[in-house]
Chain A
């Protein structure tokens, strides 16, 4: 096992992820991705009130804090054929949109940036030159030499204290870091600015959902009523705050996030030719104009792209039993029919079966089960989900703004369109779709105002609220495009209670282990071929893994529809 590189914990992600890689010289021959934590939220959901499920599933993840809440209420509404008012649809769009912009900016600056930005190098920066650089790429007002001088002083004082805190043992000085000191100082300054900015823009969730993280949702609408004559409802003052947040979001994306992404990417063009992964992409679509059952009006289209072929968009059907299927060949679960079959979520079954090494352990046995993440497949194909999938789908389906943004980016970096299929392509796609979403937030806000002006203030449909009005049995799918990719919850309701609940989430698609056929998951495929300068400082692995923005608490989920033995533990 001396040829094995192990990175555990992978930090600056959500959750607990471990990467093992077998080296061939200084290159990764193959890699294995392992989710190392399980809670069992779907087991916990069984027998509960479906109207409560959103609160439980929301706690699958506190980073993409509302996506599981949205998927859950949509699943219940789909099962019950429950219509929601137009205002509720628009408010949900605004909340999902705000999540995108907030989450993507934080990912870039607080989770991903330190893979590209050498904080210690920033100490060598000249404030005047940093100011010149900043002003050459953006009109963001915080760009004076004095501002950057203060930032450098702050960093200097911090480093000289000898206590490096979150920057301790970082890979500073590693030759993979290519930014000049001035770019590093600018990025450090924006790391701090983004922390402050996100506190303000999170308030959109607080206005509509009462708190952030984990805002409140409601089956049948949204919990916040609209009443322009009330001090305790969505009124003109609260709407003004929402408008203010949208402006702040758009300004930060346009003046900081987008120019920083392009500026930093210019120094790392070697990352446009590696880290591709599987070349298959899947989207469920989101941001409905006319209601969730009309995908033709979604801002983000639904579909699948296979083998990089942007000329053909394949139709995706979440109800079709032969499309989305989950496998457990290398996951710590058992299936009744054996570990080689794949099951549609309606037929899904799971029993925990940890047969990995007894902790503390050095290595996982990758020939057997090695992850708490399952392996979802679409028509048997390994699929990547997330920003790159969505941007490709928008690009392929002729979305004008996306085409302009992508072409501008490729032109600015002077790279071919194939550059999208890479670590950097994935990171850039996240930035570009942030702009698309931030700009559309203004449209949703304007539509909300127009609707209120027209006299429609309804936010909740109470017709199917009482379980006594429900059919004895119902089942449905709730889907959303979460910041990290296609997310769907499948629910089966019997006698007003949850009989079965299954979530197939973005990081399950991306972080899953090999399937029975030995096909590696997207993380695993993307790492193959990476050259590591120093296996003790695996910054190259972090770059590609972080480009997916892992959310591992999301990825691990379990359920059991038949009430049989759920936990079967064997320590070998």
Chain B
């Protein structure tokens, strides 16, 4: 990736004179209805510090990823867009519509060629260009055009990262992920349906703070947030080991916070930070609120059988070695859990025999 430059340095390198730059600043000032004296301040600000430009494209999506972005408490969305980045194109938030919106995207691409960060949510339908268009342009064309000058791409949400729900069988629109189309740019997959709010902003913060992209796992996800499976970090894990399970949603085990494995929890094969970072400023996460993990940060989680079928039933495929390994680990866990239960039964029988 090219080292980030200020606009002043960039324009100088492009052969743009100081005079032309100041003229641009006057135009910017007048566009904003600022007094002419403000042009100098604009020039100083522009030349000194430039917030990295971010272009956010939304394709076959539900806007849940953007909603999740707004829920981040650190960094907050408002601190990001006012102090850290320049969010130059984002359908849900931007003021301009229609031609003006597209002009903002084009301007951001031209002014920040090779420098801007591209964020994508939603999958891209290859079945027909008419399945999803923006300003009359197919998603495929818009992705290719915008990715061309991007420094890096962040695929936010399971749809952009792995195809997500539009990709679920029988994939009626031929939906694919970003990485199936763009192969010549660094891509970070921030999966989840939606991703945890602070994971989305955490990846952006990493880029802004360290100037690099974070280390990734074999599916292109940051290891900081997707390096561990939920089961290993879950506060209910000890109950799994002891063989204490909730058998239905409102039984003693459910109320006491025992393991949800038998109710279909996909925690053992799901790599995400729900159990450590939790959701919405540490308020809870799905398992802590009584429902098994859906596995939403994994590829094809929609097609792995019912959400209420335990994974030991063999419905969870082993497409990736890692997932296979995790399943094997889970099977071992079940084994030890069963052994624990057998031990308890034996102990009880012994007690009864004694009495």
A interface list, Cβ under 8 A from B: 6-16, 18, 36-41, 43-44, 48-49, 51-52, 55-56, 59-63, 65, 106, 110-111, 114, 119-121, 123, 154, 158-173, 192, 195-196, 198-199, 202-203, 205-216, 218, 220-227, 230-233, 241, 332, 352, 354, 356-362, 458-460, 462, 465, 536-538, 542, 553, 558, 566-567, 569, 571
Contacts and interface: CB of A to CB of B under 8 A. Distances in A.
A203 B172 contact: no
Please provide the 10 A-B residue pairs with the shortest distance between their CB atoms, ordered closest to farther.
Answer: A62-B64, A232-B257, A40-B172, A170-B95, A210-B286, A210-B289, A223-B291, A216-B291, A460-B250, A227-B255
A550 to B, nearest CB: 11
A354 B284 contact: no
A459 B249 contact: yes
Interface in B262-307: 274, 279-281, 283-291, 294, 302, 306-307
A154 B5 CA distance: 24
Given A44-B165, A56-B302, 17 more contacts: A39-B173, A59-B193, A62-B67, A106-B70, A165-B86, A166-B94, A168-B96, A169-B96, A209-B286, A211-B280, A211-B286, A213-B64, A225-B250, A233-B256, A359-B137, A460-B250, A538-B98
B166 A459 contact: no
Contact of A230 (B65, B93, B256): B256
Contact of B169 (A44, A63, A212): A44
Given A41-B165, A60-B62, A225 B249 contact: yes
B130 A359 contact: yes
A224 to B, nearest CB: 4
Contacts of A55: 294, 307
A452 to B, nearest CB: 13
B219 interface: no
A291 to B, nearest CB: 18
A171 B248 contact: no
Contact of B82 (A51, A158, A359): A158
Nearest to B260: A223
A230 B257 contact: yes
A11 B93 CA distance: 7
A199 B280 contact: yes
Contact of B130 (A52, A114, A241, A571): A571
Contact of A332 (B103, B130, B288): B130
A159 B59 CA distance: 29
Given A169-B104, A352-B172, A162 B25 contact: yes
A473 to B, nearest CB: 20
Interface in B85-114: 85-88, 90-104, 107-108
B279 A212 contact: yes
Nearest to B131: A38
B291 A210 contact: yes
A9 B98 contact: yes
Most buried by A among B25, B34, B76, B291: B291
Given A221-B249, A459-B249, A566-B172, A59 B92 contact: no
A169 B101 CA distance: 7
Contacts of A60: 62
Interface stretch (B12-20, B37-45, B318-326): B37-45
9 contacts: A11-B97, A12-B93, A36-B134, A37-B132, A59-B62, A61-B62, A165-B87, A192-B78, A230-B257
Contact of B90 (A16, A166, A232, A358): A166
A329 to B, nearest CB: 18
B36 interface: no
Contacts of B115: none
B71 to A, nearest CB: 5
Contacts of B98: 6-10, 538
A442 B45 CA distance: 49
A173 B32 CA distance: 9
Question: Is chain B's binding surface mostly helix, strand, loop or mixed?
Answer: mixed
Given A160-B38, A166-B87, A169-B100, A213 B71 contact: yes
B29 to A, nearest CB: 8
Contact of B88 (A165, A206, A226, A231): A165
Nearest to A227: B255
A361 B132 CA distance: 12
Nearest to A14: B63
A538 B302 CA distance: 41
B42 A537 contact: no
Interface residues of B, number: 108
B255 to A, nearest CB: 4
A214 B254 contact: no
Contacts of A158: 82
Contacts of A61: 62-64
B86 A225 contact: no
Contact of A206 (B63, B103, B287, B289): B289
Contacts of A226: 255
A335 B302 CA distance: 29
A114 to B, nearest CB: 5
Nearest to B103: A169
B306 A49 contact: yes
Interface string B22-63: 000100100011100010011001100111010000111111
B172 A567 contact: yes
A9 B306 contact: no
A7 B42 CA distance: 31
A166 B284 contact: no
A162 B22 CA distance: 12
B63 A161 contact: no
A39 B64 contact: no
Contact of B107 (A59, A168, A241): A168
B81 interface: yes
B169 A65 contact: no
A62 B104 contact: no
Interface string B188-211: 000001100000000000000000
B257 A231 contact: yes
Contact of B101 (A11, A120, A458): A11
Nearest to B196: A211
A192 B132 CA distance: 32
B51 A163 contact: yes
Given A11-B101, A195-B76, A195-B77, A207 B130 contact: no
Contacts of B131: 37-38, 352, 354
Contact of A15 (B63, B70, B256, B281): B63
Contacts of B82: 154, 158, 165
B91 A9 contact: yes
Contacts of B236: 232
A558 B172 contact: yes
A175 to B, nearest CB: 13
Given A40-B172, A212-B71, A332-B130, A8 B136 contact: yes
A196 B64 contact: no
B138 interface: yes
B66 interface: yes
Contacts of A59: 62, 64, 164-165, 193
B10 interface: no
Contacts of B86: 163-165
A11 B60 contact: no
A356 B129 CA distance: 10
B289 A216 contact: yes
Contact of A210 (B104, B130, B290): B290
B180 interface: no
A7 B101 CA distance: 10
Nearest to B92: A12
Nearest to A114: B95
Given A167-B95, A225-B249, A62 B307 contact: no
Given A63-B63, A225-B250, A210 B81 contact: no
Given A59-B62, A213-B71, A241 B283 contact: yes
B95 A166 contact: yes
A119 B62 contact: no
